[in-house]
Amino acid sequence: MLEILVNKKTFSPIAKEQALVLPLGEVGIADIPLVGGKNASLGEMIQQLKPKGVKVPTGFATTAYAYRFFIQSAGLEAKLREIFAELNVEDVSNLHAVGKQARKLMLQTEFPTVLQEAITQAYQELCQEYGNDTDVAVRSSATAEDLPDASFAGQQETYLNVHGLTGVLEACHKCFASIFTDRAISYRQIKNFDHFNIALSVGVQKMVRSDLAASGVMFSIDTETGFKDAALITAAYGLGENVVQGAVNPDEYLVFKPTLKQGHRPILAKRLGSKEIKMVYDTGGSKLTKNIPVSVGDRTAFALNDNEILQLAHACCIIEEHYSQVRGVYTPMDIEWAKDGVTDELFIVQARPETVQSQKIKNVLKTYHLQQKGEVFVTGRSVGEMIGQGKAKVILDVHQLSEFEVGDVLVTNRTDPDWEPIMKKASAIVTNQGGRTCHSAIIARELGIPAVVGCGNATTVLKTGQEITVSCAEGEAGKVYQGFLPFAVQEIPLEKLPHTRTKIMMNVGNPEEAFSCCAIPNDGVGLARMEFIIANHIKAHPLALINFEELKDELAKYKISELTTQYADKTQFFVDNLAQGIGTIAAAFYPKPVIVRLSDFKSNEYANLLGGKQFEPKEENPMIGWRGASRYYDARYREGFALECQAMKRVRDDMGLSNVILMVPFCRTPEEGKRVLAEMAKHGLVRGENGLQVYVMCELPSNVMLADEFSEVFDGFSIGSNDLTQLTLGLDRDSELVAHLFDERNEAVKRTIAKAIKTVKEHGRKIGICGQAPSDYPEFARFLVEQGIDSISLNPDSVLKTLLEIAKTESGN
């Protein structure tokens, strides 16, 4: 018989291991075998991180010793082994029957009196601190959980808003039994853990009143790409179970950690979730908690303000740094947080190692490419940058799980840990509800399959038996296509790539692809286009936002009103979205240079933005009309350019992303360049201050002929080979009559570019190219290298092949 120690006030090393109950403040990360990963982590943070400002609710934990004492004193192991003798986890019905029998046996066996007394004493001490019958969260914590390669997240049960001693004892007993949930049995079998070597600890922790505020999950790494310098925070109203289980589509916030630590405010993205329901205390009913609708006003507002987002991100950094130091290896973290609606304090309620991105092989770049598009059935948030195919299997109830077959695409409202036995058979997962940190998303990543979550209508649009392709390889929007579409998978080893003298940069316009692109070997971004962000995220003409009340187009006015619901000042919608989009690209490649081209829409393209027709002229040839530099200082657009400047100042100064270099497009004369610089300076973007460099596009013959004079105005040049070719050869490449004459390899174009490179370098300035030509033609890339160009900026998909070509050219082969 095990010896029992009840008194938990002071412990020698031997006595601590024989305690039935321990205060959370007296355990640490070394005590995982004693109180499980979850409780050990809580104790570690209470001891080590509370002095650094990380708040963790206090409580106590039953020990693994207590669990084993319960099993041995009642002679349960032999009976359980007999039940498990016939286990077949591949048979869902068999798994369910075995799990049900094991749990029933555990629940029918009473706790030993001495264990009940130990829990009673610990709970009464908690009540002395917080009041009689204080409300607590009762969570299971297995001794094998939260390992770097196996999370065990959600395998056992959690009970919230538990009141009174009777409720606490009952919840602890249920947690013990939950070591044999169907999902836990299946997960242990998959991970090759012995069912009888693992013990269960129960954490009893003071509830944070997030039912009156908000809660969520955050990761210290980008969950999709593995980009380690971003913290991803999700938030919804009420208790956190809805976010974890994927019952709501939460808000998402992205924060850049390196400049946050320097004291900046680098919120890279804020995405509004629908947050339709919230879990609250059920004060008048028979249940502990219940879900209620969220008001329209709250649904259309962010659950956290900027200061709270940054405070959570700081905690995320502190926790990650601590665990990385303790483990001696970089350890990204998966963290649950809650805001107390009574005190407005932010608490950390769980922290465990992230188990997917941290385990990936880092020296191989694996990319998926859809080779053909088709009809899109539904869209949602993409999880896992992969593509999967199979027949849709719509399952709305856990009792239908036995119908699922290997290779099917699981289509459902949402998943919880009970669904894991069939999730491992799926080729992809599609859900109506959930965000990037929900259960479906976490398990899909762990299984290495794509998931599209938060679709809203997947279970009504998709039908069982339909052949579908699930694509998560096209940015943050995941798409479910009709039929089996062809796709390719490319694996590129990165460890033996050559180093070149010529800088290899990338053209990046879409912020959603930035974290993926930065994994490709590069020297920074040679061209970040504002146009993609303005057209796809902002959608409205800047002057239409400034003059919103005077808009004549009622439909455009209505659409702008919908887009800017959260903004009393419509112009801040433009500034926020542009700053966040460019900030994301700049953060992805930080501290490498990121050259951001100021807006280069033509007047007809500006007119196509919401409200744009009212502010744009009709030009016969917009390509050589009112575009680029000529707009910025013009009284007819100056206010619109001011918004661009405000956004770029926020990126460089507030977010701390001073690696951003600004570039002026279509600048016809040096005098015009000076006027643009003066306009920028009015809005705090002064060339030379805070290291600000300003480049100019070299895309007009005048830029080449007067390169010496432009060198006195600007810090560098970037050749735009598309426009330079059109203007050198005097043709419109969009005209089918002369398009066949468009060729950047034409000798006139090559001589023009050679002259530009020679003149600029003679005047001590940098010159690169961001046009399409070197991405399309290896021989053109060789020509540029031979001319001594400083950098070549390429489309992401052509970087590696062009890199090898440049290396050969530089070596003389």
Map residue 384 onto helix, strand or coil: coil
Phi, psi of 391 (to 5 degrees): -85, 135
* Residue tagged active-site, from 316, 317, 517, 770: 770
Kindly state the DSSP code that residue 650 receives in the 8-state scheme.
I
Map residue 220 onto helix, strand or coil: coil
Structure tokens at 26: 């007296």
Interhelix angle for 92-108 vs 182-190, to 10°? 120
Is 770 noted as a catalytic residue in this protein?
Answer: yes
Which has the closest alpha carbon to 643: 540, 510, 714, 532? 540
Map residue 568 onto helix, strand or coil: coil
Map residue 217 onto helix, strand or coil: strand
Phi, psi of 360 (to 5 degrees): -75, 150
Measured distance CA(790)–CA(801) in Å, rounded? 18
Map residue 530 onto helix, strand or coil: helix
Is 439 noted as a catalytic residue in this protein?
Answer: yes
Q: Quick check: 220 and 354 in contact, CB under 8 A?
A: yes
The residue type of 33 is: P
Measured distance CA(222)–CA(229) in Å, rounded? 8
Measured distance CA(661)–CA(695) in Å, rounded? 7
Ramachandran category for residue 509: left, alpha or beta (phi over 0 → left; psi -120 to 50 → alpha):
alpha
Q: What DSSP assignment string belongs to 106-150? A: HHHSPPPHHHHHHHHHHHHHHHHHH-TT--EEEEEEETT-SBTTB
* Residue tagged active-site, from 439, 455, 667, 698: 439
Q: Quick check: 40 and 28 in contact, CB under 8 A?
A: yes
Strand 251-256 versus strand 267-271 pairing type: antiparallel
Paired residues of 508 in beta bridges: 528
For CA atoms 795, 801, 807, 808, give the dihedral sign: negative
Return the active site residues: 439, 770
